[in-house]
C-alpha cells in the first residue's frame, strides 16, 4: 500500500515517471502476433563504480509474445528466457532479464541466480506494492544484488537476498515498470486477476528452467503485496491440487509491512498514531468517530463481487481517516515517521528511473524505447476496487497445508504499521490461533543489539522492527529492563489488542524473547508452529533498506527452519 488517491496523483505526476496514457501501452507489429521468442545479448559497459567486481548484467534478454487476450490463460507455450553469467572476482552471479508476453501482455522481470548454491538454494519471488510500483525499487534499494550509486554505477549489496536464494523481481500487474500491454483493457482490476497472470508466468519460468522446478519456492514482498502474496499463493495451491501444470514446491510466504486485512488494519491507524504521538487525545477521539463507518463500508465491499460502488466508498471513507492523520502530523515521512517528507514521495528513488531510462540500459535489456514506469497511476486507479478486500482469508488453508508464514513490520512505518499487522495476525482463525496468541514473544538479536520483537507458532511468524530500545540501551538488554522500557512496551501491546480478550491476555502476559544476530538483539519475536511474527527495531516501511543485515539474517533463518 503506497498512496491514497489524492497523494498518489500528486506524487506520481510530480515524478513524471509515466507515459502520456499513464500506462505502458504499445501498438505491436501484426507480423509479431504469432507465438515467438525474441532475444538479444545484453552488456552494460562502463556503468559500474571503479573497483567493483561486477562486469555486466548478464548476456541474454528476451520476451515471449502471444496473441492478444483480455484474460489470463492457464497454459503458456514456451518460455524464451536465457541465463548467462555475470563475471565476478569472487563468485559467478547469474541474472536473467526478460519479458514474458502473455497474449500481448509482456511481463518484465529480473532473475538473479544465488551467489551461494543455485542448484539447491530456494527460488524467491519478490512482489512490490503501489499497486502499480515497480520491483526495481526493492531490487536496487533493498534486497537485490546491487545498489545504484549517485553516478548511476552499480555496486554489490553485501546483504542481498541472492546470497541465500535464486530471486526473481517481477513487474506486475500489467503496466507496471517495463511490463506492458497492447490494450488498456488488459489492466488488472484485482489481485485475483493478477494471480492468474502470475501463475502463468511461473509455469513458463519453470518450463524454461526445469533445474529449479523442485527447489523450495517462496513468495515475499511488502506493502500492497500483502494483497498479492495470499492471492498468488492460493492460486499456486489450487494449481498444484488440480495438477494443472508443473508442481510448484511452495514452502512459505513472507509479508513485510503489508496491507492484508483492511478492516483490522484501518482500525489500527488511530491507535498507532496516538501511541507514536502523531496526534493528541482530542484528535484521536474525533477521528475514532469515523471508524465505524469505515468498517461498515469495508464489510459491504467484502460482500460485493467484482468492481463495486461499495468498494469505492470504502476506499474513500477509510483513506480519509489516514489522510487526516497525515495532515495533523505535519511534514512526516509516512513510510518512516522519524524522518521528514522530502519531495512528493517522501523518498528519492529517482536513480532507478534515471538508470533504467538510459538508452544504453534499455537497449541492453531489450526493452527498446519503452519508457520505464516507477509507479503507474493507471494501475493504481484500476486496482482501487481491490484495496479494501480482505486477503487474510486465503492464508489459513495455506497454513493447514504446511505453507509457513512470516509477517514482519518496521515500527516507524505509519501507512502499513506494525500494530495493524500484529492485530490481523492474532485475529486470523486457524488451527494454531490459540497457541500462537499465547506463545511467548522474544527479542530479535543482531550483533548483540535488539533489532525487533518476534512472535511465532508453527508456520506463522510475525516480526516488528523497532529502535527505541537500541537507542536507550546502547545494546545492553539488562539496562533496558532496569530502565523500565520493556514494561511500557508490554503495556502498549496490552492497550492495542481490542479483540479476543482471553487470548489477548495470554499474549500480553507472555515474555518477549530475543532475535539474536551475531550476539546483538535485532528485534522481538513470537512464534508457534508455522506462524511467526517479528517486530524488528530501527526500521520503517522498507525493512531491508533500513536494516539490511538483520533482514537477511531474518529471511535466512526463517527459510532454513532455524529458530529466530
Q: Hey, which residues are catalytic here?
A: 223, 413, 541
Q: Are 57 and 148 in contact (CB under 8 A)?
A: no
Residue 372: φ, ψ to 5° = -75, 135
* Cβ within 8 Å of residue 503, ≥6 positions away: 426, 433, 434, 437, 438
Q: Are 452 and 406 in contact (CB under 8 A)?
A: no
Distance CA 146, CA 156 (A): 5
* Cα dihedral value 334, 451, 350, 97, nearest 10: -130
Q: Are 513 and 486 in contact (CB under 8 A)?
A: no
Q: Are 123 and 201 in contact (CB under 8 A)?
A: no
- What is the grid cell recorded at 141? 534499494
In this structure, how many other beta carbons lie within 10 angstroms of the beta carbon of residue 7? 18
In this structure, how many other beta carbons lie within 10 angstroms of the beta carbon of residue 285? 12
Q: Are 494 and 423 in contact (CB under 8 A)?
A: no
Ranges assigned E (strand) in 32-101:
36-41, 60-65, 84-86, 93-101
CA atoms within 13 A on the CB side of 199: 27
Q: Are 255 and 126 in contact (CB under 8 A)?
A: no
DSSP track, 368-429: TTPPPBSB-HHHHHHHHHHHTS--GGGHHHHHHTT-EEEEEEETT-STT-HHHHHHHHHH--
Distance CA 108, CA 106 (A): 6
Helix/strand/coil for 366: coil
Residue whose entry in the numeric block shows the C-alpha cell 490461533: 433
In this structure, how many other beta carbons lie within 10 angstroms of the beta carbon of residue 44? 19
Q: Is the dihedral of CA 193, 196, 202, 205 positive or negative?
A: negative
**CB burial string 129-161: b at 16+ within 10 A, e below:** bbbbbbbbbbbbbbbbbbbbeeebbbbbbebbb
Q: Quote the radius of gyration of the chain (alpha carbons, Å).
A: 22
In sequence order, which ranges of 167-217 are alpha helices (DSSP H)? 191-208
Q: Does a cis peptide bond (omega within 30 degrees of 0) precede residue 173? A: yes
Amino acid at each position: 500500500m503506497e498512496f491514497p488517491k489524492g497523494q498518489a496523483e500528486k506524487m506520481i505526476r510530480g515524478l513524471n515517471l509515466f507515459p502520456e496514457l499513464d500506462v505502458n501501452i504499445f501498438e505491436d507489429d501484426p507480423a509479431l502476433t504469432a507465438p515467438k521468442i525474441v532475444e538479444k545479448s545484453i552488456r552494460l559497459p562502463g556503468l559500474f563504480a571503479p573497483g567493483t567486481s561486477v562486469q555486466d548484467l548478464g548476456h541474454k534478454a528476451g520476451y515471449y509474445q502471444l496473441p492478444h487476450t483480455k484474460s489470463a490463460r492457464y497454459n503458456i507455450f514456451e518460455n524464451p528466457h536465457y541465463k548467462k553469467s555475470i563475471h565476478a572476482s569472487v563468485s559467478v552471479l547469474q541474472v536473467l532479464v526478460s519479458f514474458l508476453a502473455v497474449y500481448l501482455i509482456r511481463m518484465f522481470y529480473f532473475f538473479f541466480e544465488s551467489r551461494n548454491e543455485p542448484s539447491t538454494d530456494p527460488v524467491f519471488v519478490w512482489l512490490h506494492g503501489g499497486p502499480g510500483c515497480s520491483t526495481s525499487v526493492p531490487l536496487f534499494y533493498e534486497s537485490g544484488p546491487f545498489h545504484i550509486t549517485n553516478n548511476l554505477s552499480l555496486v554489490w549489496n553485501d546483504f542481498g537476498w541472492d546470497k541465500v536464494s535464486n530471486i526473481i523481481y517481477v513487474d506486475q500487474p500489467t503496466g507496471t515498470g517495463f511490463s506492458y500491454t497492447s490494450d488498456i483493457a488488459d489492466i488488472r482490476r484485482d489481485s485475483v486477476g493478477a494471480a492468474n497472470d502470475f501463475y502463468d508466468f511461473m509455469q513458463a519460468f519453470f518450463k524454461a528452467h526445469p533445474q529449479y522446478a523442485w527447489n523450495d519456492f517462496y513468495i515475499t514482498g511488502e506493502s500492497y503485496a500483502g494483497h498479492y502474496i495470499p492471492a498468488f499463493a492460493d492460486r499456486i495451491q489450487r494449481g498444484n491440487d488440480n495438477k494443472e501444470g508443473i508442481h510448484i514446491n511452495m514452502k512459505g510466504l513472507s509479508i513485510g509491512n503489508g496491507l492484508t486485512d483492511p478492516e483490522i488494519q484501518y482500525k489500527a491507524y488511530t491507535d498507532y498514531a496516538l501511541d507514536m504521538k502523531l496526534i493528541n487525545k482530542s484528535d484521536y477521539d474525533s477521528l475514532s468517530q469515523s471508524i465505524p463507518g469505515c468498517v461498515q463500508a469495508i464489510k459491504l465491499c467484502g460482500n460485493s463481487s467484482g468492481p463495486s460502488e461499495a468498494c469505492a466508498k470504502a476506499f474513500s471513507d477509510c483513506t480519509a481517516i489516514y489522510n487526516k492523520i497525515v495532515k495533523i502530523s505535519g511534514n512526516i515521512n509516512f513510510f518512516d515517521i522519524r524522518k521528514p517528507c522530502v519531495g512528493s514521495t517522501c523518498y528519492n528513488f529517482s536513480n532507478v528511473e534515471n538508470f533504467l531510462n538510459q538508452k544504453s540500459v534499455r537497449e541492453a535489456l531489450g526493452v527498446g524505447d519503452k519508457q520505464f514506469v516507477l509507479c503507474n497511476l493507471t494501475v493504481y486507479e484500476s486496482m482501487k476496487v481491490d484495496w479494501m478486500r480482505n486477503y487474510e482469508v486465503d492464508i489459513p488453508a495455506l497454513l493447514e497445508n504446511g505453507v509457513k508464514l512470516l509477517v514482519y513490520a518496521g515500527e516507524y512505518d505509519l501507512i502499513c504499521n506494525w500494530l495493524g499487522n500484529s492485530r490481523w495476525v492474532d485475529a486470523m482463525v486457524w488451527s494454531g490461533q490459540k497457541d500462537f496468541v499465547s506463545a511467548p514473544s522474544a527479542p530479535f538479536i543482531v550483533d548483540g543489539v535488539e533489532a525487533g520483537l518476534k512472535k511465532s507458532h508453527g508456520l506463522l511468524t510475525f516480526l516488528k522492527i523497532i529502535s527505541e530500545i537500541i537507542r536507550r540501551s546502547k545494546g545492553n538488554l539488562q539496562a533496558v529492563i532496569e530502565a523500565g522500557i520493556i514494561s511500557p512496551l508490554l503495556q502498549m501491546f496490552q492497550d492495542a489488542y481490542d479483540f479476543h480478550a482471553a487470548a489477548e491476555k495470554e499474549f500480553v502476559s507472555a515474555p518477549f524473547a530475543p532475535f539474536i544476530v551475531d550476539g546483538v538483539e535485532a528485534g522481538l519475536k513470537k512464534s508457534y508452529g508455522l506462524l511467526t511474527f517479528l517486530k524488528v527495531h530501527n526500521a520503517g516501511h522498507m525493512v531491508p533498506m533500513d536494516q539490511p543485515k538483520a533482514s537477511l539474517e531474518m529471511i535466512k533463518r526463517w527459510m532454513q527452519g532455524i529458530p529466530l
